[in-house]
A and B are shown apart, each in its own frame.
Chain A
Amino acid sequence: MPMVYSSILDWVNFPDIMANPYYPFETYNLPYDISQKLWEIIGGTIAWLINLLFPGNPVSEWLVCDMTVNFFALIIFMIVVFLVVFIGILISLWEERKVLGRTMDRRGTMVGMKGFLQCVADGFKTFMKEDTQPRKVDRMTYMWTVSLVIGTSMLIACMIPLSDRWYVVNYNTGLLLIMGLFALAPFFILVSGWSQNNKYSLIGGMRAAEMMISYEIPMLILIATACLMAGTFNIGGIVQAQYDTMPYFIPQCIGFVTFFVCANAEAERTPFDLAEAESELVEGWQTEYAGMKWGLIMLADYMRGYVSCAMITILYLGGWNLPFIGDLNNYVPELVFLLKTWLVFFAMIIVRAALPRVRTDQILNLGWKVFMPLSIINLVIVLLLKMGGVF
């Protein structure tokens, strides 16, 4: 890295990022690339400005040396990944409002870029509302459980890779980790419902927790089945396996449908949204949260929906590859992945528009007596296919 900043063009120099000895990943990572370039620009500007006043000073040298470049690039990397996921979730929120509106014979949101900015404005408004807190709640659990629900949802939403080169960590048990964090939510919801000192929240929290726990079991079996077929838990590996053979919704069609329904249940969407059964229990476990907390809970709901759709895309629809196109794949796989995710979400929205709420005991009946056997049947089919050498 040249230390002399005699001309402005000196710091827009963008060296090969993988040559940096502190480069944290093993393969090319696109968001890290973007963030390093951003830091080059920002840090380089600051270094050049300081260099103008005090030529040859150690601070500007430090600002552009490898270690600091890596450090600040990682910070910007976090922001870049978060922003992309956030905008993706806002787009799914917008998609829901428009599509739901059209099924109900109305137009949905119309203001601002076909209605997209309305969602942003709504989120902004929610954050500005007064944050009331009933006096007798258990303060510690009241605040911490919500933060944990939102935090874990955001964590897994950011951890899902959008392509071979857009990932946060790339390790061999990726899918299992995502599922594990995803499955933590019912415990937090249960404690949160209790902590609000309200009969309705208590009932709502218990119902949500029991429903989510009973639907996680088919999900886990199905994830294990898909990974069995691919031979690895690594997300990139699963996608590559599907590219090599065929998208897994063809041999595992039962599993596809079951996973879709379980994903609906996990994301607490109608027909399984008894936790926020408005007509019976006001808001269920979210009753006593107001203002920013409620806004974040709503966002967490959409994040979990996004994560479920992303998992469906990875496991069954072939991830970020388009079939039969070949080399064109390498251009914008991220966009392909996001479009497929939003397509699955579209199906979830149509299901929400058409179906009423299922009663609690009927939900549990379905979960244990219908979906778990189906997932086991799916496992048996995959085992047979594997043993027969087809995959």
Chain B
Amino acid sequence: MSPIREYDSSWEGDIENKLTEKFGDKIKFTGQEIRRVYAHVERDAIFDVCKFLNDELSFEHCANVIGVDMKDYMQVVYHIDSYTTYKGECVELTVDVPNDDPHVKSVSSIWGGANWNERETWELFGIVFDGHPRLERLLTPETYEFFPFRKSYKLRGWE
């Protein structure tokens, strides 16, 4: 097995074009680097974008579902990798979630790898993923009452 470093610099442009073609203005591209595509997606389109990425563009691996507390609003960041067609590419999708309605559609039905990531994001930030089979506490004890990673939860007593 000799090392094959397949990489074609036209891949990022390719991915951007296909996504814009399908989703139009629901998706905005914020940056591009070697093997990286950064995008910002509307909340109601995220499930369709993910499904499109998985089915059509063969991005089979959901590496991460990250929650961020930006104080005025929350964000969910997805990192999705490809193993076959665009080998080595990583797409980052950012979704804004308002504070008073922290609901996002769950992508765990598309990728099993997102299951525990979403569960962890819920228990640490309080972002509810609709359609997740089992949104329970994982890392913190079951009787825990707070969402510890929110900025409003102060770690040290004097802050």
**A touches B in complex, CB < 8 A:** no
| Interface, chain B (partner A; CB < 8 A) | none
| Interface, chain A (partner B; CB < 8 A) | none
